[in-house]
Chains A and B, each alone.
Chain A
């Protein structure tokens, strides 16, 4: 085991999380937004694994597996919806999502 402090790992996962968040905010293509959300999930998973390792418990890794599974479920439904959007509107750009407003 290395002697890296836990903070180093947390900063890394925090940066990953911010990368994902920035992607969700700035991207206009909904596929990229979905990918960015995926990065955010995995950042949280990384933080869980780190914390589990620090406390010497397996719980963190268990949580990671759950996170991976639910991210997959979410993406499955998300891709189906994107497919349907592409069929109806011939685009996957979020600028086309402007029919709902006041």
Chain B
């Protein structure tokens, strides 16, 4: 039964659901892009307020949700990222011809889906939140509906996501066949060691394939560059951060509860996926001329690093992957913020060449850009470095030496392309950047400044954030 007390723990989700309805009604009464944007940000802030004021306990809210410290941390992270993305959206959609208001309903719904996914404790709640997230994303990717590239990207994502979902569903069905349980705590009580038969392994395999698609791990990454390059920059930021983070956390819960990682074959499958993601992500990024595609490959390799923390199978592993998620969210949001910042009348500047000579015309922005790139590459004093450092420590603690070597080698390869972007910006030539939307949006500048400070702060003094993770 649901008690009033238990409802208090899912207040953030309830607020988001109500917020979506309120925003919809507001649009019906009066269309105003700025007002809708403010209402959306307010919704997220109220949800965040309820989240912060929750008692720090692990609570089951019915069978479907389980609110614990990981769930709380992820919810907070998602809500903060959603606020940043909403801030990006206002100036970005200002110079588009579309109706701008419905975008925010979809954004709130997608956020609601990913927040629910982070705390879901049951196959049913997971599937529902996954659908809430992906169906909103189809519409968000194809939001600029008069451009055929945008529709093409949305359709590609639709087919890919639907196939991935059906893989996950079939995998769940097979796991359910063997165990007879659908809630994760019930699955924990099922001793996996003795009853590991073929059906169970097939279920694991299909679940891994499905999650591989959702988190864009190699060899299931092929959709990523296309979608990133065609989706509007704020939406691409959403896909790269929030939807992947939520899927990762559920994967973590599922496999830590099921105990599947103790199986040699499952562990090796994950290790192979992580290794190939790290190498292929960094390798394919090397020849990219398109900045958004480059970020796509970068995010593939970053998810590979994240899997190393997942594969450590320890409390330290969870903690380090949560910290890594934080660092990754900050860096990716910042880089998409930059792309939003520089997009102008002609659309986004997505070629790396477009940024040639930026350092000599806009030194401050170029400096921020450089720091973001260094953070993605994992240079000391930035968030990315400490993220990798904690992942390495966690891996070292449980003796996963092979994965650590792969991580170190592949991130060295990746360093080249991040630094190439910096080199292009530093080259002494006339900058071709004309009018851009960032110059007259105070909120966008503020968001960029906050993210910049966060990246440096995470890299220099992480202990306060580690306390926040509190696992």
Q: Which residues of A contact B (CB under 8 A)?
A: 6, 10, 13, 17, 20-21, 24, 30, 33-34, 37, 40-41, 43-45, 47-48, 50-52, 54-55, 57, 59-60, 62-63, 66-67, 70, 73-74, 77-78, 81-82, 84-85, 88-89, 97, 99-102
Contacts and interface: CB of A to CB of B under 8 A. Distances in A.
The 7 closest A-B pairs by CB, nearest first: A47-B173, A44-B169, A40-B166, A51-B177, A55-B180, A100-B226, A70-B131
Contacts of B182: 59, 63
B457 interface: no
A77 B146 CA distance: 16
Determine which residue in B149, B158, B229 has the highest number of CB atoms from chain A within 10 A of its CB, and name it.
B158
Contacts of A33: 159
Nearest to A42: B166
B155 A97 contact: yes
B162 A37 contact: yes
Interface stretch (B49-57, B134-142, B275-283): B134-142
Contacts of A62: 124
Interface in B259-287: none
A35 B180 CA distance: 30
A94 to B, nearest CB: 8
The binding surface of chain A is classed by DSSP as helix
A85 B148 contact: yes
A20 B224 CA distance: 23
A81 B151 contact: yes
Determine which residue in A6, A101, A102 has the highest number of CB atoms from chain B within 10 A of its CB, and name it.
A102
Interface string B223-254: 00110011000000000000000000000000
Given A63-B123, A100-B229, A73 B131 contact: yes
B127 A67 contact: yes
22 contacts: A10-B174, A10-B199, A37-B163, A40-B162, A41-B162, A44-B173, A47-B174, A48-B172, A48-B176, A51-B176, A59-B176, A63-B123, A63-B124, A74-B135, A74-B138, A77-B135, A81-B155, A85-B152, A99-B148, A100-B149, A100-B156, A102-B290
Given A10-B199, A88-B151, A17 B166 contact: yes
Contacts of B151: 81, 84-85, 88
B158 A89 contact: no
Nearest to B176: A51
The binding surface of chain B is classed by DSSP as helix
Nearest to A41: B166
B220 interface: no
B166 A48 contact: no
Contacts of A34: 159, 162
Interface in B194-232: 199, 225-226, 229-230
Nearest to B288: A102
B375 to A, nearest CB: 25
A40 B163 contact: yes
Interface string B115-128: 00000000110011
Contacts of A85: 148, 151-152, 155
A73 B135 contact: yes
A32 to B, nearest CB: 11
A31 B149 CA distance: 19
B356 interface: no
B177 A81 contact: no
Nearest to A51: B177
A66 B163 contact: no
Given A44-B169, A81-B154, 7 more contacts: A37-B162, A40-B163, A47-B173, A59-B176, A74-B162, A85-B152, A102-B225
Contacts of B176: 48, 51-52, 59-60
B145 A84 contact: yes
Contact of A57 (B142, B162, B173, B180): B180
Nearest to A52: B176
B169 A67 contact: yes
Contact of B158 (A45, A57, A81, A100): A81
Contacts of B226: 100-101
Given A54-B177, A70-B128, A78 B138 contact: yes
A24 B293 contact: no
